[in-house]
Amino acid sequence: MCDPVSITLGVVSAGLGIAQAQAQYQAQRQQIAYQNRVAEQQFQYSKLQAQASRDSEAQKALAREEQMRQNEELARMVEANNIRQINLAYMEQQQATAQQKRGAALEAAEQRGAVLASGRVGNVIDSLLADVDRERAQFDFYSDTNLAFVGRQSAEQKRGAAATRASRVASVTPYIEQTVLDPIEPIKREAPSSTPYVLAGVSSAIGGVTTGLGVAGGIRDAGFKWEGGKYIRT
C-alpha cells in the first residue's frame, strides 16, 4: 500500500503540471483572441479613415468644379465688357469720321460756290474747282484710312480679349482626385491546438506518478514503511 506522503506528493506534482499546462493553453487562447480583436479594430478604423479620405477628395473635386464655373463665368463677363468698350470706341470713331467728312463736304461746297461766284471762266475756274475736289478727296481718303486702321486695332483688341479670357479659364484646372484604397483585411489567427497542452498534462500526470513512486522508494530505502496508518521501521 502506498503511503500518503508519496501519494500526496505525486498528486500535487501531477496537479501542478496539469494546471500549468491548462493555464498556458488558456493564456495562449486569450492572447490570440486579443490580437485578433486589436487587428479587427485597427482594420475598421483604417476603413473609416479611407472612406473619410475619399469623401474629402470628392469634396475637393466638387469645390474645384464650382471654382472653374465661377472663374469661366467671370472671364466671359470681363471679355464681354471689354468687347463692348472696343465696339463703343470704334462706333465713336465712325461717327467722328462721318461728321468730319460731312464738314469737309460742306466746306468744299462753299469753296466751289465761291469759285463759281467769282466770275472767272475757262481753264482757271476748272483748275480751281479741281483743286477743291482734290483736297476733299484727299481728306476723305485719309479719314477712311484712319478709320480702317482703328477697325484693325479693334479687331486685334477683340482677339486679345478672347485670348485673355481663354488664359483665365485655363488657369483653373480640374482637381485630380487621389485614389484611396481600403486597407487589407487582416487574417485572423486560429485558436491554438489543445493537443500539445493535453500531452503536457499527460506528461505531468506521468511525472506525478513517477514522483510518488520515487518518494515511496526513498522511504523504503530509508527503512520505513506505511502500515496501520503510520510509518514503522522495517
Q: For residue range 189-233, list pLDDT tens digits in order.
A: 776 665 665 555 556 555 555 655 555 555 555 555 555 555 456
Q: Which amino acid is at 142?
A: Y
Q: What is the mean pLDDT of residues 101-115?
A: 87
Segment 139-181, tens digit of pLDDT: 999 999 999 999 999 999 999 999 999 999 999 999 999 999 9
Q: What are phi and psi of 233, to 5 degrees?
A: -80, 135
Residue 30 reports pLDDT greater than 90: no
Q: Look-up: residue for cell 520505513?
A: 224
Indicate the average pLDDT of the chain. 81
Alpha carbon distance 200, 131 (integer Å): 134
First vs last Cα of the chain: how many Å apart?
15
Q: Which long-range contacts (CB under 8 A, 24 or more apart) does 80-85 make?
A: 82/157, 82/161, 82/164, 83/158, 83/161
- Provide the pLDDT confidence category of residue 116 given band limits of 50, 70 and 90: confident
Least confident of 30-39, 56-65, 211-220: 211-220
Contact 200, 21 (CB under 8 A): yes
Q: Are strands 224-227 and 230-233 parallel, antiparallel or unpaired?
A: antiparallel
Residue 6 reports pLDDT greater than 60: no
**127: nearest Cα among 135, 107, 140, 103:** 135
Q: Take residue 200 and report the three cell numbers written for it.
A: 503536457
Q: Is 222 exposed, middle or buried (0-12, 13-18, 19+ CB in 10 A)?
A: exposed
- Provide the pLDDT confidence category of residue 1 given band limits of 50, 70 and 90: very low
- Return the top range by mean pLDDT from 18-27, 103-112, 189-198: 103-112
